[in-house]
Structure 1
Amino acid sequence: MNILDKLPIDKVITEYEIIPTDIKLLGGFENNVLECIGQDKSIVLKFYTTQKYSIERIKAELNWIRHLQGADVIVTSPIPTINGELIVTACNIFNQKYHVVAYEKAKGTPVNDMNSNEWDDHLFYIWGKTMGKMHVAAKSFQFSNDIFKTLQWNKEDIIVSPPELGKTIHSQWNKFISQMKQFPKDPHSYGFIHHDLHQQNFYLDHNELVLFDFGDGIFHWFANDIAISLYHAIQSIQANEQKKRKEFAMTFLSSFIRGYMRANQLNEKSLLKIPFFINYRQIYSYVYFINYLSVEQKKQVQVTNMLKKMKNNIEKHIPYLNINDNDIKSLL
Structure 2
Amino acid sequence: MEHSVEKQFTTEILNKILATYQLDSNVKKLGDFENYAFEVYQNGVAKILRITHSSHRSQKELESELDWIQYLHSHGISIPAVFISPNGKTVEAFEAEDSFFYASLFEKAPGKPVKVEDFDEKLFRIWGKVTGKMHRVTKEYRPGANIQPRSHWNGNDLLELEYYYPKEDKEALAAALKVIQEIEKLPITQESYGLLHTDIHSGNFFYDGETIHVFDFDDSCYHYFAVDIAIPLYYSTISKHYFGTKLERNEFAKEFLKAFLEGYREENELSQECLETIPLFLKQRDIELYAVFSKKVPMEERNARLQHWIQEIKARIERNEAVVDLDFVINLK
The normalised TM-score by structure 2 is: 0.88
Going from structure 1 to structure 2, the CA distance change for 1:305 and 1:328 (only over 3 Å counts) comes to: closer
- Conservation of the 8 A alpha-carbon contact between 1:67 and 1:137: no
Q: What are the Cα deviations for residues 42-63 of structure 1, in whole angstroms up to 9, with x where unaligned?
A: 1111112212322221111111
Cα deviation for residue 81 of structure 1 reads 2.8
Q: Which residue of 2 aligns with 1:10?
A: 15
Alpha-carbon distance between aligned partners in 2 of 1:86 and 1:163, rounded to the nearest angstrom: 33
Alpha-carbon distance between aligned partners in 2 of 1:147 and 1:168, rounded to the nearest angstrom: 38
What runs of 5+ residues in structure 2 fail to find an aligned partner? none
For residues 1-332 of structure 1, the aligned pairs below 5 Å read: 6=9, 8-20=13-25, 22-30=26-34, 32-92=36-96, 95-111=98-114, 113-116=115-118, 119-143=119-143, 147-148=148-149, 151-165=151-165, 166-236=169-239, 237-291=241-295, 293=296, 295=298, 298-302=299-303, 303-324=306-327, 327-332=328-333
Cα deviation for residue 244 of structure 1 reads 2.0
- Conservation of the 8 A alpha-carbon contact between 2:164 and 2:291: no
Cα deviation for residue 164 of structure 1 reads 4.5
The alignment partner of 2:195 has SS state of strand
Cα deviation for residue 311 of structure 1 reads 2.1
The alignment partner of 2:56 has SS state of coil
Cα deviation for residue 305 of structure 1 reads 4.8
Cα deviation for residue 74 of structure 1 reads 1.0
Going from structure 1 to structure 2, the CA distance change for 1:4 and 1:174 (only over 3 Å counts) comes to: closer
Q: What are the Cα deviations for residues 162-208 of structure 1, in whole angstroms up to 9, with x where unaligned?
A: 34523212211211121112100000011111010000111113511
The alignment partner of 1:46 has SS state of strand
- CA RMSD of superposed structures (Å): 2.4
Deviates more, 1:81-90 or 1:3-12: 3-12
Alpha-carbon distance between aligned partners in 2 of 1:61 and 1:205, rounded to the nearest angstrom: 25
Amino acid at match of 2:258: S
Deviates more, 1:246-255 or 1:32-41: 32-41
The alignment partner of 2:249 has SS state of helix
The alignment partner of 1:115 has SS state of helix
Going from structure 1 to structure 2, the CA distance change for 1:146 and 1:88 (only over 3 Å counts) comes to: closer
Percent of pairs with identical residues: 28
Alpha-carbon distance between aligned partners in 1 of 2:279 and 2:178, rounded to the nearest angstrom: 15
What runs of 5+ residues in structure 1 fail to find an aligned partner? none
The alignment partner of 1:97 has SS state of strand
Going from structure 1 to structure 2, the CA distance change for 1:174 and 1:146 (only over 3 Å counts) comes to: farther
Cα deviation for residue 138 of structure 1 reads 1.6
Deviates more, 1:124-133 or 1:170-179: 170-179
Alpha-carbon distance between aligned partners in 2 of 1:318 and 1:271, rounded to the nearest angstrom: 17
Going from structure 1 to structure 2, the CA distance change for 1:313 and 1:271 (only over 3 Å counts) comes to: closer
Amino acid at match of 1:114: V
Cα deviation for residue 126 of structure 1 reads 0.6
- Conservation of the 8 A alpha-carbon contact between 2:73 and 2:80: no
Deviates more, 1:305-314 or 1:119-128: 305-314
- Conservation of the 8 A alpha-carbon contact between 2:67 and 2:147: no
Equivalenced residues, count: 321
- Conservation of the 8 A alpha-carbon contact between 1:69 and 1:75: yes
Alpha-carbon distance between aligned partners in 1 of 2:312 and 2:27, rounded to the nearest angstrom: 35
Q: What are the Cα deviations for residues 243-298 of structure 1, in whole angstroms up to 9, with x where unaligned?
A: 2211111111001001101100111111111122112211122123323x155xx5
The normalised TM-score by structure 1 is: 0.88
Q: What are the Cα deviations for residues 49-96 of structure 1, in whole angstroms up to 9, with x where unaligned?
A: 21232222111111111111232211111223334332111234x654
- Conservation of the 8 A alpha-carbon contact between 1:25 and 1:34: yes
Going from structure 1 to structure 2, the CA distance change for 1:69 and 1:219 (only over 3 Å counts) comes to: same
Going from structure 1 to structure 2, the CA distance change for 1:251 and 1:4 (only over 3 Å counts) comes to: farther
- Conservation of the 8 A alpha-carbon contact between 1:16 and 1:39: no
